Chain A
Amino acid sequence: MKPALFDFAVAQSLSDAQSALLGGQNKLVSGNQSLGPMLNLRLTRPAGLIDISRLPELRNIEEFEDRVRFGAAITHAEIEDGEFPDPTGHWMRDAAANIAYRAVRNRGTIGGSLAHADPAADWVIVMTGLCATAIILGPEDNTPPRSLPMEDFFTGPYSTDLGPDDILAAVDVPIPGQGARWAYWKYTRQVGEFAKASATILIDPAHNRTRIAIGALGRQPALLSNPEAVLDGKQSPIEALSEAIPDQPANALNLHAVALSRALEQIKESKEFSA
């Protein structure tokens, strides 16, 4: 199938893109890896597409003392290839390298993936698991961008806190503390698939952060309320998940528990972070 008729414009500046969004008829597009198929199947019919993939403001990174800010239009492949410094050592690079397949990674962007909020997407769980923060530009000029932790940014399947005129401009990734450890395990039956189940574990004693995220739930990732209990072996994965995601059917619960178990095995083998 071919898309229904739409206008196409390349934004010359962020404010260009912002004014094109007003009125709610147009959609932003960057890598076009999720939107493209939906356009072709005529599942979405925006009046116009505003290409933001080449805006310099969205193609930058900014390094702060405690975090690195990734512009939304940075591609998975650029992260995979280490064209931008990975604040986590190699955790982001490893995650990027297993997103879909290379053709998708060449075009797909981190911001596009987060804004699309596919429940099974890699960045959705990985950014949540790494305690990242969304940087959002509102429609008003001269208003500073607002920051929102990932767990609040995602509000449901394919839905986020972004208002109709908001732009996800960047994502802030915290630099882990000395000795931090990380695991990310996902089950895909075939290369290129979205995950059927996934889990991340972050242990960052220097910042007093311990986080276990469970992904591919058909909605936003779930965070375990007491990750230490699972890490200490006081609670089994299945017990923890029965508490955290009681709405999931038994088969799915088992599958997510396997994902968590595999992530737990992985973290035992993981190397400690050093800056």
Chain B
Amino acid sequence: MLLCSAIFNDLKEQYGALQTRFTAPIPIIQGDVFLGRNGKVDMSNDPDVKERETGIGARLIRKEDDRYLNGKGRYIADMRMTGMLELAFLRSPLAHAKIISQTKPEQSDNRVFLGRDLEGVSGIRAVSGLPGFRPSTQPILADEKVRHVGEPIAACLADSRAKAEDLAEKIDVVFDELPAVHDMTKARDKESPLLHEDWEENSFLESNADINFEAAIAEADVIIKRSFKTARQCMAPIEGRGLIAVWDRNLELLTLYSATQMPHIVRTGLADCLNMDHGQIRVVAPDVGGGFGYKGILLAEEVCACFLAMKLDRPIRWIEDRREHLIAGANCREHSYEITGYAKADGELLAVDCTAIVDSGAYSSYPFSACLEAAQVASILPGPYVMKGFRCKTWSVATNKPPILPFRGVARTGVCFALEVLLDGIARELKITPEAIRARNLVQPEQMPFTNITNKFFDSGDYPEALKRAVAAIDMEGIRAEQKSQTGRTRIGVGLSIFCEQGAHGTSVYHGWGIPMVPGFEQATARLTPDGGLELRVGVHSHGQSLETTLAQIANSEIGIDPEKIKLVHGDTASTPYSTGTWGSRCIVMAGGAVGSACELLGERVRKIAGHLMQADPADIKLEGGMASAGSSTISIEEVARTWYLKPQLLPDDVDPRGLDVVAGYKTTKDTGTFSYACHAVKVEVDMDLGHVRLLDYVIIEDAGTMINPMVVDGQVYGGAAQGIGTALFEEMCFDASGQPLASTLADYHLPLASDLPNIRIEHMETPSPLSRFGQKGIGESGAIGPPAAIANAVNDALSFIGAEVAEVPMTPERVLSAIAQAEFSKTTEGDVA
């Protein structure tokens, strides 16, 4: 705790004027116990904590809980409109084929539409400005060529989904099948058929980084080389995609209700594809049941439904089913690494060399593009480690699979797996402990803020402390003792991973990627209502982030209105300021900062009116508990609001004519992003006969900076960790050589279940960010980053007595058994040679 504030004070000196509001050290939350400055549990007499009961730092029960937990949410599939038609798509059964002919069933006029029927509609393009990027055009309905199984070919409408599917069955399509590209490591081979015929090779982008590599490796004592792979995953939110498109003749307005994370970006993308003005399009995102990136793209299905709604003047609804999600929806995570670490005998990491391939699928998705993930690999691979040299070459290759999307953690889950498992390999070679090699190479707290080898700006944090706490919390010493007494074919192991999560990075970073969407100032509107309530309007959208609560807490800290009287308006382009939306762990920093700024300005206007009414100096007025008070005089904020709206005769002559309605824009003081970080430690048991991995204990030491609501942070970390465990052990979308997906139901695509998850123990550190308004850091993705690396390290630790190593996730029983068999085989052959 003292450590945190000490760092913070150092930073204050370095940066001068900071945006932060904190003068007191920040309490630390451990588990369910609120520990204060003095480590006291009962904080009822602490004025700082009283203030926090509803404001920043409070463990406030979520405002949205009643709706979500009592079945009162309203999702797309809950919505019906008069005259609505259900939409089903005929989707490609082949991964790669030319379309020779398409024949509609008889009497299907105005019920079956092909690509050629979509007059004036353009395909989806997401072009990156990075040099050498090869753009693709994703057709709305494929009519010349299909490039992955599940690609939409025809749109079929009926008054029920079943009947629409009946229609789809009756369409006759003749294909000329082409060989499919299914293996990313061979996609660029000369023999590989081209997905996009005007390209030279199946690659969206190649990137190269070389920072002092050759010089750095001169003193290397050990060189460790590994190959790693992470499987292609489906993102599997509980609610799939879904939409209703409505044309309103009266308003001449197309309204798209869509389960999306970014309504404003969808609106811009639609305007491009449909060649319409923004003013003719409104996008509404109602309750959204999980997103994780899957709901962060413009869909061909969205464009198609909008066209049909306008063409037929009837509401059109499409609800993605689980089969469509699994075989046709965008995927994520599929990486391949050839990575080499160079170290000195004492464990000093000198350099890392890496060749990475990301399987980007068939098309560049709007707005993130096909290259974001691979380009990110090259820039974030070094993580929180100090090194002298770095070299990385990446390709975003095109294959006959659905497009890949940035999923929770984006490329971090893959690079963390590659680097952290490599580090354990080096440690084993050098016969030092995993914690020693990490402690030796992690950035030290006194180096903060720290610019790493790839020019990433680490804003604050104490990584070695997180490592130390994780090692203690998992009881490393106890596990090592337990291992010594183990015999037989059931073994325990322990593994660590430590990593950072860049969140809320802004203009300079995204301008560098050159994608269609670059975030700038984030805006929020704060509006006092005549009854003293507060309306907040933001352009980001919640798909489970608890923004209705956390943004209300921020407003409460700024302006003293009870969160119960604060209403968040979001998810509607017609009533919110433009925003790139909810992605990149940015909401609590950016929208939170914007709400803070707007409320601060609104507070000034409230003070001015209150000062006039109380005959007090506005500068002396405090806004707390719904009241404006100066000394012994108080007036309710409600009365101030009522005066502005309904009793203007009482206002001062020089009152601000803009009233009690404020729009403010916000940026962090430096837009390189906040760096939250975590250390994961896991204890596993490996059944060497079955290849079964059981998680016995799991600890996460997490530093989210200032926590707006520690319960919400916990929720994010738990949920993310469950998904990370899915990546580590279960989730895999396989394809055969002809590009056919091999899982089409959740019986074959394995999600982590409640019964697969250990009781995860979270401990928080709380080092404020010097860049954000309240010291908060983005935390939404962190949990999903660490598990594959930590669990693989634990499995390899358990199997180290025979020298077996798994190098691919998910660590299925088959992969674990194959690693064991390989190690046992090479032991036998070694024995033979000896």
Residues of A within 8 A of B (CB): 1-5, 37, 41-42, 187, 189-194, 196, 251, 254-255, 258, 261
Quick check: is B555 within 8 A (CB to CB) of the other chain? no
Chain A contacts for B756, CB-based, 8 A: 190-191
Chain B contacts for A190, CB-based, 8 A: 730, 750, 753, 755-756
- Contact between chains at A251 and B814 (CB < 8 Å): yes
Question: In the complex, A261→B488 CA distance in Å?
Answer: 15
- Contact between chains at B162 and A2 (CB < 8 Å): yes
Contact of A191 among B162, B166, B745, B755 (CB under 8 A): B755
- Contact between chains at B165 and A1 (CB < 8 Å): yes
Quick check: is B321 within 8 A (CB to CB) of the other chain? yes
Question: In the complex, A261→B490 CA distance in Å?
Answer: 14
- Contact between chains at A41 and B814 (CB < 8 Å): no
Nearest 9 Cβ contacts at the A-B interface: A2-B162, A191-B755, A258-B689, A2-B161, A190-B753, A2-B165, A1-B323, A191-B753, A258-B690
Question: In the complex, A190→B812 CA distance in Å?
Answer: 12
17 CB contacts below 8 A, A to B, read: A1-B321, A1-B323, A2-B161, A2-B165, A4-B162, A4-B166, A5-B166, A41-B744, A41-B745, A189-B750, A191-B753, A191-B755, A194-B747, A196-B813, A254-B689, A258-B689, A261-B689
Quick check: is B817 within 8 A (CB to CB) of the other chain? yes
Chain B contacts for A2, CB-based, 8 A: 160-162, 165
- In the complex, what residue of chain B is closest to A259 when comparing beta carbons? B690
**Nearest chain A CB to B156's CB is how many angstroms away?**
12
| Residues of chain B in range 201-217 having any CB-CB distance to chain A below 8 Å | none
Quick check: is B692 within 8 A (CB to CB) of the other chain? yes
Contact of B813 among A37, A41, A42, A189 (CB under 8 A): A189
Chain A contacts for B812, CB-based, 8 A: 189
| Residues of chain B in range 637-696 having any CB-CB distance to chain A below 8 Å | 689-690, 692
**Nearest chain B CB to A173's CB is how many angstroms away?**
28
- Contact between chains at B162 and A5 (CB < 8 Å): yes
**Nearest chain B CB to A114's CB is how many angstroms away?**
20
Question: In the complex, A5→B165 CA distance in Å?
Answer: 11
Q: Which of A1, A41, A251 has the most CB of B within 10 A?
A: A1
Question: In the complex, A193→B746 CA distance in Å?
Answer: 10
- Contact between chains at A3 and B162 (CB < 8 Å): yes
| Residues of chain B in range 52-100 having any CB-CB distance to chain A below 8 Å | none
**Nearest chain A CB to B319's CB is how many angstroms away?**
11
**Nearest chain B CB to A68's CB is how many angstroms away?**
32
- Quick one: given A41-B323, A190-B730, A191-B755, are A255 and B690 in contact (CB under 8 Å)? yes
Question: In the complex, A42→B160 CA distance in Å?
Answer: 16
Chain B contacts for A194, CB-based, 8 A: 747
**Nearest chain A CB to B111's CB is how many angstroms away?**
16
Q: Which of B160, B690, B755, B814 has the most CB of A within 10 A?
A: B690
- Contact between chains at A192 and B753 (CB < 8 Å): yes
Chain A contacts for B813, CB-based, 8 A: 189, 196
Question: In the complex, A190→B813 CA distance in Å?
Answer: 12
**Nearest chain A CB to B298's CB is how many angstroms away?**
25
Chain B contacts for A258, CB-based, 8 A: 689-690
Question: In the complex, A93→B755 CA distance in Å?
Answer: 21
- In the complex, what residue of chain A is closest to B689 when comparing beta carbons? A258
Chain B contacts for A193, CB-based, 8 A: 747
- Contact between chains at A189 and B692 (CB < 8 Å): yes
**Nearest chain A CB to B686's CB is how many angstroms away?**
13
Question: In the complex, A255→B756 CA distance in Å?
Answer: 21
Chain B contacts for A1, CB-based, 8 A: 165, 321, 323
Chain A contacts for B747, CB-based, 8 A: 37, 193-194
Question: In the complex, A162→B399 CA distance in Å?
Answer: 46
Chain B contacts for A254, CB-based, 8 A: 689
**Nearest chain B CB to A105's CB is how many angstroms away?**
15
**Nearest chain A CB to B320's CB is how many angstroms away?**
11
Q: Which of A37, A187, A189 has the most CB of B within 10 A?
A: A189
Chain A contacts for B690, CB-based, 8 A: 187, 255, 258
| Residues of chain B in range 795-834 having any CB-CB distance to chain A below 8 Å | 812-814, 817
Question: In the complex, A42→B165 CA distance in Å?
Answer: 10
**Nearest chain A CB to B813's CB is how many angstroms away?**
7
Question: In the complex, A11→B825 CA distance in Å?
Answer: 60
**Nearest chain A CB to B32's CB is how many angstroms away?**
27
- In the complex, what residue of chain A is closest to B750 when comparing beta carbons? A190
- In the complex, what residue of chain A is closest to B324 when comparing beta carbons? A1
Question: In the complex, A15→B361 CA distance in Å?
Answer: 56
Contact pattern, B 141-168, Cβ under 8 Å of A = 1, otherwise 0: 0000000000000000000111001100
**Nearest chain A CB to B160's CB is how many angstroms away?**
8
Question: In the complex, A192→B755 CA distance in Å?
Answer: 10
Question: In the complex, A37→B162 CA distance in Å?
Answer: 14
Question: In the complex, A187→B817 CA distance in Å?
Answer: 15
Chain A contacts for B165, CB-based, 8 A: 1-2, 42
Chain A contacts for B755, CB-based, 8 A: 190-191
Question: In the complex, A190→B321 CA distance in Å?
Answer: 23
Chain B contacts for A251, CB-based, 8 A: 814, 817
Question: In the complex, A190→B750 CA distance in Å?
Answer: 9
- In the complex, what residue of chain A is closest to B812 when comparing beta carbons? A189
Question: In the complex, A270→B92 CA distance in Å?
Answer: 54
**Nearest chain B CB to A253's CB is how many angstroms away?**
13
Contact pattern, B 310-323, Cβ under 8 Å of A = 1, otherwise 0: 00000000000101
Chain A contacts for B753, CB-based, 8 A: 190-192
Question: In the complex, A198→B458 CA distance in Å?
Answer: 52
Q: Which of A3, A41, A258, A261 has the most CB of B within 10 A?
A: A258
- Contact between chains at A37 and B745 (CB < 8 Å): yes
- In the complex, what residue of chain B is closest to A257 when comparing beta carbons? B689
Question: In the complex, A181→B166 CA distance in Å?
Answer: 54
Question: In the complex, A109→B544 CA distance in Å?
Answer: 38
Chain A contacts for B160, CB-based, 8 A: 2
Question: In the complex, A1→B756 CA distance in Å?
Answer: 29
Question: In the complex, A190→B749 CA distance in Å?
Answer: 12
Chain B contacts for A255, CB-based, 8 A: 690
**Nearest chain B CB to A129's CB is how many angstroms away?**
21
Question: In the complex, A192→B754 CA distance in Å?
Answer: 12
Question: In the complex, A3→B692 CA distance in Å?
Answer: 37
Q: Which of A42, A190, A191 has the most CB of B within 10 A?
A: A190
- In the complex, what residue of chain B is closest to A187 when comparing beta carbons? B690
Question: In the complex, A17→B750 CA distance in Å?
Answer: 38
- In the complex, what residue of chain A is closest to B692 when comparing beta carbons? A189
Question: In the complex, A36→B104 CA distance in Å?
Answer: 30
**Nearest chain A CB to B193's CB is how many angstroms away?**
30
| Residues of chain B in range 695-751 having any CB-CB distance to chain A below 8 Å | 730, 744-745, 747, 750
**Nearest chain A CB to B725's CB is how many angstroms away?**
12
Question: In the complex, A255→B692 CA distance in Å?
Answer: 11
Question: In the complex, A2→B166 CA distance in Å?
Answer: 9
Chain B contacts for A5, CB-based, 8 A: 162, 166
Question: In the complex, A1→B166 CA distance in Å?
Answer: 10
- In the complex, what residue of chain B is closest to A250 when comparing beta carbons? B821
Contact pattern, B 244-273, Cβ under 8 Å of A = 1, otherwise 0: 000000000000000000000000000000
- In the complex, what residue of chain A is closest to B162 when comparing beta carbons? A2
Contact pattern, B 737-777, Cβ under 8 Å of A = 1, otherwise 0: 00000001101001001011000000000000000000000
**Nearest chain B CB to A176's CB is how many angstroms away?**
29
Question: In the complex, A189→B323 CA distance in Å?
Answer: 22
**Nearest chain B CB to A211's CB is how many angstroms away?**
24
Question: In the complex, A190→B323 CA distance in Å?
Answer: 21
**Nearest chain B CB to A130's CB is how many angstroms away?**
25
Question: In the complex, A258→B490 CA distance in Å?
Answer: 13
**Nearest chain B CB to A189's CB is how many angstroms away?**
7
Chain A contacts for B730, CB-based, 8 A: 190
Question: In the complex, A48→B479 CA distance in Å?
Answer: 60
Chain B contacts for A37, CB-based, 8 A: 745, 747
**Nearest chain B CB to A230's CB is how many angstroms away?**
17
- In the complex, what residue of chain B is closest to A197 when comparing beta carbons? B690
**Nearest chain B CB to A266's CB is how many angstroms away?**
15
**Nearest chain B CB to A16's CB is how many angstroms away?**
27
Question: In the complex, A4→B162 CA distance in Å?
Answer: 7
Question: In the complex, A263→B436 CA distance in Å?
Answer: 43
Question: In the complex, A41→B321 CA distance in Å?
Answer: 11
